[in-house]
Structure 1
Amino acid sequence: MRGRLPWAALLGLLAGPALAEPTLAEPTLAEPTLAEPTLAELAQTDPVRSGAAGQPVVSLRHAMGGAVARLELRPAPGEALEAGQALLLRLELADEDGRPLRGLRPAAWAERGGGGIACRDRVRGLLENRLGRRAEVNFNAWHLAYLGDNGAVQVLDPVGGTSRTRLLAALALGGEAGGWAADAAGNRIFASVPSLGEVVEIDTLRWVVARHIPVGGRPARLALDAATQRLWVGQDGEAGATAEVALLGLDTGTVLARLPVGPGPHALAALGPGRALAAGTDGAVSLGAEGASPLPGLGGGFTEAAHSALAQLSLLLDAAAGRVLALDAAGQPVGLWTVAPGAAGLFPDPTGRLLFIPEPGEDRVTVIDLARRAVAHRVPVPGGPLRLGFSGTQAYVQSREGSSVTLIALGSLEEGGTPALTGIAAGSGALEGGAALGPLVVAAPGQEGMLIAEPDQRVVHVYMEGMAAPSGLLRAPRGRPLALAAIDHALRETAPGRYETRAVFPGSGRYILPVMLQGGDFLHCFEADLGEDRALPLARRLTVAPPESGDTLPAGTPSALRLRLSGPEDSPAWRSAPDASVLLTQLSGHWQERLPLRPVGDGRYEAEGVTPPRPGLLRLHLVAPSLGLEAGTLPPLMLRAVSP
């Protein structure tokens, strides 16, 4: 089970009518489910800063509520343990007898500054996210990247974004893209730019363009060989294109080989470590790092290539002639099936057993059972089916016309079964064959929902399987989506009781790392130093202490509120900020009020006439623009209004 905030949190953000202002869910950290740690438990926190063979490691341990957690930060081999590097966060969870705790849902964050806040209140503020407050590093996050037809990759933050925009980054490629690939780990995305003769590599941990890799000609379709960390690059066949496929080494960012395959456009499929298949108008070619071997007797006119690792078959589509070929590992034809001319593509299911071929001219999808090497079904799908995407249980068919997406239950396609179809109102307008450069239907991380692009409307539908309709929309702010990738940066279980992810810490300083077990009794704020914090902005070096009068205020009766701000000695502006104010919000009744704070010396501030209308919880944010403090910059203080 993957570690992340519940999918319901996303639905809370997206709930409501199409493109309506999202409504935010109330806190998921209940009052007070967590017992205060005992002295014995507190004594079990022990920081370490070295690892095996001298590798720099931050290792922190804490026991609470029957769980023992060890949190480690590790750099990549040969790298320094410092901010700006991609660090591995490893969380090992066991019970008091040392048995691994499996299948948990840990949530974790990291942020600098803002000390003096109870860990529970810190986490509550991060979960609520009502005023744009977000941690510097979110170990529960996932992002949606889409390739736009405007020559840029846009990155959306579905959960952490604000109601105004969910746009996290916009990365210009320098021209319109011709191909798209994402590695399985989700750390890198590649896009080819034919007009520049380049492949652009995007670092998804930092969301920056990492490299422009010269290829030459007009690079187009891409096929990633994950086992060898190499990238096969085809050409688009237009003026200036070459008649070769390039093999890129991703460790060096250089062209390792240029293999002659004939004129493009080239369809590509990675077949396994060091092997690929290229196909085009003149036929098909088997590729390896050592050279290219034409496959005779197959004919030409191929527009699509795919591979099934399960069936150990390479697959080719000749759309004009209406034929699908299957080749064995030696490149020999072992299967030939007839489909309607104009078939729109080859779409193997996640297992690799079933091959789906949409036939828009016939309003149907042909399903081939690759294990039996036979046509299993001809499934009627109205509207001119064009593209497919998959969850673990359903095939999602996008059509040219109509106002719905057709779902075909994969379990109903077993030998002798009757295809089970349903429709959901997720819009129309699937991209014509060749226009899409990658998947337009992808599973959201955690496999709890699906993301379905509607390119012409520039939206992505959020759909929970089993529901009658999508639960919300994500707006694609710039450009029609041509490909989607859901990038998962959340903690995931990599071994029994071990949860890991990678992240980049943005700057040096002391980080507070809250860790919470959802549905459990463990909550602790670890602390780790990643260099001196002198480069930190002043706002991140400030802390606010709870009111001197305690954490309660009388309801319905004016009273005074006194706060204490602390900061660095070398930047004394915090001692008497003239524009300081306090923003108070009551969790029930939607009451909110901003009151000026009067500096009374040495970081102390006071407000008069604070009058919560009713008993209940209050959230307090300190605001001072001259210090860089906006609502949500510092963790909120949690107070309670009580009957006088």
Structure 2
Amino acid sequence: METNSVVQWGRRRLLCLRALAEQHALVLWLASWLLHTGGCARQDPKEKPSLPAAAGESAGAPSAPVSVEVTDNGLTMAWSATFEDGATNAVGAWRVARARLSVKDAATGAAQVGLRPRVWLSARKEGGTALDHEACRNLVASFAGGLLSAQPASVLDGYLVLALNEDPSLSIIEPRVALARTKLQSLVALPGQAADWAAAPQGTSVFVTIPERDLIAEVDVLRGRVRGSQDVGDHPTRIVPRGDARSFWVGNDGDGTVSVIDADARAKRKTLGSGAGHQEIVFLAGGRRAWVSASDSETMKVFDAEHGELLAEVNVGRGVVALAGSDEAAMILAARDHGELVVVDEASRAVTRRIPVARGGASVAFAPGGRFAWLAQREAGVVHVFDASQGKIVQTTRRLSRPDHVSFTRNFVYVRELGSSHLSMFGLAGDPANEPPKLVQVAMGQAAPDGDFAPSFAAPMAPLPEGGGMLVAHPVDRTLYGYAEGMMAPIATHPAYGRSPRAVRIVDRSLHEIEPGVYEAPFRMDGGGVHDVAVQIDGPRKVTACLEGSLPDGESRPGEDAFGIEPLFDPGEKLVAGQATTLRFRLREPIAPRALTALFTQDPTGYVWRGVPKAEGDSVYAITVKPSTPGRYRLVVRPNQKAGPLMRRATWTLGVRAGDAEVLPASEGGKGGRK
């Protein structure tokens, strides 16, 4: 994990926690404050904004790309980037751009395929000049090495880690190479506690089910915020992508239906009757057919996934708690809590075998290759290996401590045990049909991951993109553990920033080949201007080169996150330690009484004031603070969850002096409100 992690993404500010992320104590405190004042609280059930229909953040057309070229070691690289939200820049908001890098042979013009370019963008200082080759090599070395002092404006390499937390929030965490550290890039407030999630194409958005609100919420991973929500059925839990994730099927446990969501239109396309109880969903035949079970129904339904037509019903019995499907074996396995593993032939749509197993909850999944399925039974403490070619269980491992989830890499099966502080691993190199798989147990934290947590259907483990490792969420330790195969202990231990992660997901943010020799990826920035674009390509012809890339600054406009507040105090004038000071501001938009919250706190830790600003009439509000010590302070004013979107706020950075002697100047943020 260490060698494939990446350096700090945010250069100047983070969307939710902005510049506080590096100061861990204040990160945790501010995140907690957001939770209790509405930043991460449940919204009013009547407020359910619909998902936006378009992927862009504004109606403006994308800015025209400007292509630049450079040749190094016999390869010609052409770079261009364009903002996807038009030629305007939302004040204080991250903007999403799309990068495009084409690589050709300089002599023949032949497209260079199968590469994995690494790209970093560094904002050029005013008056700066283009980098020479030596300066470029040094810049690439500092970014690739993950040095904390090297902070690119944007990164197109490596991955982000998403954690679905016990509280109604989702953490977006950036791993780092140096010191195996991480950075909390964004803390996204969800409209309620989540049950499951699924990723949109390219992982730029994730859709999260919120059972208590009867909706799914879309989280924009690049911008680090909830883009909107969509009403579905009663008590949605499972959400499963179909094929290439152009649509999602949502199981509504409360009303016995499945909602089909169009991922491109961000709209509900169909509602299908599936049966009462908990829904499980798998797709077979390349995503053309959907199999849906319902725990209180005797039958499992088969749908044409494209048109929603009911094709067949298969009598499997009540109590199905887990499903797994294999296209290679043309088979579905249904695990019943009554103590039975039901084998269904996909072609004939008929039950071919019923295998007795222990009663209770279960998790089942097919390993890569589609022949062997692994069934973990929590209460019985056993793991079975089912061979699809023989239609029977061929291996059983007992005396495990409440195994509840299985996940795979190319070479290993990982089994989490709720009652153990160890992670169990089984090798896939042998043939389980003829010999028992070898069990290896590695340490996982200080305590067992079992706790008083709400049920979660999302996977608590995620394989690393490069293979050969696994990332595991540990809600009791409030930690994410990274494992590399062959190591008997975690190679990386990443804090979850005071939260209990119940599930984890990895989003690849590197460039991907969309056509021969052309590589693209979305990325985020907080502004345009001239940037040094550092490119590194490994392979037979190694390349380290820097280009000059320009992105239009555009015309500033108030964006979705802007909150209209006019400070009636001078942000550049320092307050006096130990002296009460009243800070007044005027709202430029109407708001209900007591619909504001304010936080005044010292960076990184120290004096804290929080509360409701006092209304003085004529849209003027005031707070009175008495900072105890000199230093740098931050004032944040925002509407509560019933008064507007969760992430709208205004922020000022203020200096506080000791008596007559100025101790610390105000930061550059002290010249006015930052939205």
TM-score strictly above 0.5: yes
* Counterpart amino acid of residue 61 in structure 1: E
Q: Where does 1:254-265 land on structure 2 (aligned, <5 Å)?
A: 254-265=267-278
1:526 paired with 2:543, answer no
Alpha-carbon deviation of 1:156? 0.9
Q: Tell me what 1:441 maps to.
A: 461
User: Which of 249, 266, 273 does residue 262 from structure 2 map onto?
Assistant: 249
Q: Which of 85, 94, 101 pairs up with 1:90?
A: 101
8 Å CA contact retained: 1:106, 1:518? yes
Deviation at 1:134, TM superposition (A): 2.0
Per the alignment, in what secondary structure is the counterpart of residue 366 of structure 1?
A: strand
1:47-101: CA deviations, max 9, x gaps?
xxxxxxx99543332212333323344677xx86887344142342536444555
Shift in alpha-carbon separation, 1:113–1:437, aligned structure 2, 3 A: same
Give the drift of 1:426: 1.8
Q: 5 Å matches for 1:211-360?
A: 211-227=228-244, 229-236=246-253, 241-271=254-284, 272-280=286-294, 281-283=296-298, 284-288=300-304, 289-292=307-310, 295-360=313-378
| Structure 1 position 408, deviation (Å) | 0.5
Separation in structure 2 between the aligned mates of residue 247 and residue 385 of structure 1, nearest angstrom: 32
2:297 counterpart letter in structure 1: D
For residue 62 of structure 1, the aligned residue among 42, 49, 70 is 70
Whether contact under 8 Å (2:297, 2:318) holds in the other structure is yes
Corresponding residue for residue 35 of structure 2: none
Q: Which residue of 1 aligns with 2:651?
A: none
SS of 2:320's equivalent? coil
Q: 2:431 aligns with which of 413, 417, 431?
A: 413
- Separation in 1 of the partners of 2:159 and 2:171? 14
Q: 2:510 and 2:367 mapped to 1: Cα distance?
A: 25
Per the TM alignment, residue 487 of structure 1 is displaced from its structure 2 partner at its CA by: 0.6
Q: Is the 8 A contact 1:223 1:268 kept in 2?
A: yes
Q: Is the 8 A contact 1:153 1:172 kept in 2?
A: yes
In the TM superposition, residue 489 of structure 1 has moved relative to its aligned partner by 0.2
Distance 1:292 1:12, change over 3 A: closer
Read off the aligned partner of 2:324 and give its amino acid letter: A
1:191 maps to which of 208, 223, 226: 208
Q: What's the % identity of the aligned pairs?
A: 23
* Kept after mapping to 2: 8 A contact 1:86/1:205: no
Structure 1 Cα separation of the partners of residues 468 and 364 of structure 2: 26
- Match in the other structure for 1:155: 172
69 and 197 in structure 1: CA distance in 2 versus 1, 3 angstrom threshold:
same
Aligned ranges 1:122-141 → 2 under 5 Å: 122-127=139-144, 130-131=147-148, 133-141=150-158
Conserved 8 A contact 1:228-1:273:
no
Q: Say if 1:489 and 1:11 are closer, same or farther in 2 by CA, change over 3 A.
A: closer
AA aligned opposite 2:246: Q
Distance 1:182 1:154 in 2: 15
CA drift at 1:229: 1.2
Q: Mark the runs of 5 or more structure 1 residues left unpaired by the alignment.
A: 1-5, 14-20, 23-53, 537-622, 630-644
Deviation digits for residues 4-36 of structure 1, max 9, x if unmatched?
Answer: xx94264999xxxxxxx99xxxxxxxxxxxxxx
Matches within 5 A, 1:517-596: 517-518=537-538, 522-532=543-553
> 1:206 is paired with a residue of what secondary structure?
coil
Cα 1:444–1:164 shift into 2, 3 Å: closer
Contact 2:335–2:362 (8 Å) recurs in 1:
no
User: C-alpha distance in 2, partners of 1:388/1:228?
Assistant: 22
Residue 457 in structure 1 maps to residue 477 in structure 2: yes
Measured in 2, the distance between the counterparts of 1:397 and 1:62 equals 48
Q: Secondary structure at the match of 1:252?
A: coil
Say whether 1:504 aligns with 2:521.
no
**Separation in 1, partners of 2:191, 2:503:** 17
Q: Residue 340 of structure 2 aligns to which amino acid in structure 1? A: G
Letter of the structure 2 residue corresponding to residue 379 of structure 1: T
Partners of 1:226 and 1:328 lie apart in 2 by 17
The Cα shift of 1:192 comes to: 0.7
State the shift of 1:305 in Å.
Answer: 1.9
Q: Which amino acid aligns with 1:202?
A: V
| Counterpart contact for 1:391–1:442, Cα < 8 Å | no
Question: In 1, distance between residues paired with 2:178 and 2:172?
Answer: 11
Distance 1:301 1:362, change over 3 A: closer
- Cα separation, 2, equivalents of 1:11 and 1:527: 22
Instruction: Give the superposed CA RMSD.
Output: 3.5
User: Closer, same or farther in 2 for the Cα pair 1:515/1:296, shift >3 Å?
Assistant: closer
Asked if the contact 2:164/2:503 (under 8 Å) is kept, the reply is yes
Aligned mates of 2:534, 2:314 — CA distance in 1 = 61
Change (3 A) 1:532 1:497: closer
1:567 aligned residue: none
1:468 alignment partner AA: M
* Deviation (angstroms), 1:393: 0.6
- Asked whether the equivalents of residues 360 and 380 of structure 2 are also in contact (C-alpha less than 8 Å), the reply is no
Q: Is the 8 A contact 2:146 2:178 kept in 1?
A: no
- C-alpha distance in structure 1 between counterparts of 2:72 and 2:79, whole Å: 14
TM-score by length of 1: 0.69
Which protein shows a greater Rg? 1
* Range moving further from structure 2, 509-518 or 156-165: 156-165
Residue ranges of structure 2 left out of the alignment (5+ in a row): 9-22, 25-61, 90-94, 558-663, 671-675
Q: What is residue 483 of structure 1 aligned with on the other side?
A: 503
Contact 2:70 2:76 in 1 (8 A): yes
Is contact 2:238-2:250 (8 Å) kept?
Answer: yes
Q: Which residue of structure 2 lines up, in the alignment, with residue 106 of structure 1?
A: 117
